[in-house]
Amino acid sequence: MTDLKSGFDGATLKIERAYYHIEEVKSLLEAVREIEQQGITLQNDGPCGFHLDFLPSSRPFKDLPLAIGDAIHNLRAALDHVWMALWRKSGKTGFGTFPFHETRKNIEDAIAKSPVKEAFPEVEKIVLDYVKPYRDEDGNSILWAITKLDKIDKHNLIIPLVEKKTIQNLKVFAPGGGDISFQNVTLIGGGKLIGSNGPLQFEEQGKSSLEVIFPTGSPVERKAVLPTLVNMAEASSETVKLFRETFL
């Protein structure tokens, strides 16, 4: 038998390590934003027209996927530490993992077959009605996504996307007179503005704000990376806290 407290303490340490990596992600994102702040290209289309390109960066930032993956892995491991503490206390050998699934029904089945439920019957209600690590019905989809992303990261890096979201205070002028101002233009995934007062030149370059998002096809596709990781960490931390308060 292993002390429950030591298992839950291990889970808490994993949460703390995840927050360390989230801070690393935050620092890397600040560097990305500083480097990618510009990127507005003025193209004259002959004497009578112009267009402005706003293109998302394709530059790889090699450390960012690693920090994202490390944060997610520690959050997933924290929940496994919680489950294993109960698993070992039940007298079972081997390894058990915290139950995650897309459907509540499949989690019900998994818990019903687990030695953890036999030793700690209250765990079923805690997982199904409070933690809710499933996607359907009223499940906690942000918590469910942790295990999906962790599986992805084991085989492929999670490469985030850089989007230019808003262009502010951009001003161009024609040498022959007249100008055009763009006060607040929102674009997702890059874009183009086309005009007919060319040829033009920049008078004020303007400022672009960026967002770094999870890629299309991921469980949290097109969600901003940093707030999503923070939400995942908060959900995992609350889960560890709930198990600690219930069983210690």
Contacts of 33 (CB under 8 A, 6+ apart): 210
- The whole-number pLDDT of residue 171 equals 72
Residue 221, number of CB atoms within 10 A of its CB:
12
- The whole-number pLDDT of residue 176 equals 62
- The whole-number pLDDT of residue 203 equals 58
Q: Are 115 and 84 in contact (CB under 8 A)?
A: no
Number of domains in the chain: 1
Domain that holds residue 131: 4-247
Tell me how far apart the 2 most distant CA atoms of the chain are, in Å.
Answer: 85
- The whole-number pLDDT of residue 162 equals 75
Residue 235: C-alpha distances to residues 79, 239, 240 (Å): 11, 6, 9
- The whole-number pLDDT of residue 210 equals 75
- The whole-number pLDDT of residue 125 equals 96
Q: Give the burial class of 114: count Cβ atoms within 10 A of its Cβ; 0-12 exposed, 13-18 middle, 19 or more buried.
A: buried
Indicate the pTM of the whole model.
0.80
**What is the C-alpha to C-alpha distance for residues 74 and 7, in angstroms, rounded to an integer?**
14
- The whole-number pLDDT of residue 37 equals 57
- The whole-number pLDDT of residue 31 equals 81
Joined together, the tokens standing for residue 210 give 């960026």
pLDDT tens digits for the chain (248 residues)? 458 999 999 999 999 999 999 999 999 888 877 765 555 666 666 665 666 665 555 454 789 999 999 999 999 999 999 999 999 999 888 888 999 999 999 999 999 999 999 999 999 999 999 999 999 989 999 999 999 999 999 999 998 887 766 667 667 666 666 666 666 666 555 555 556 555 666 555 666 677 889 998 999 999 999 999 999 999 999 999 999 999 99
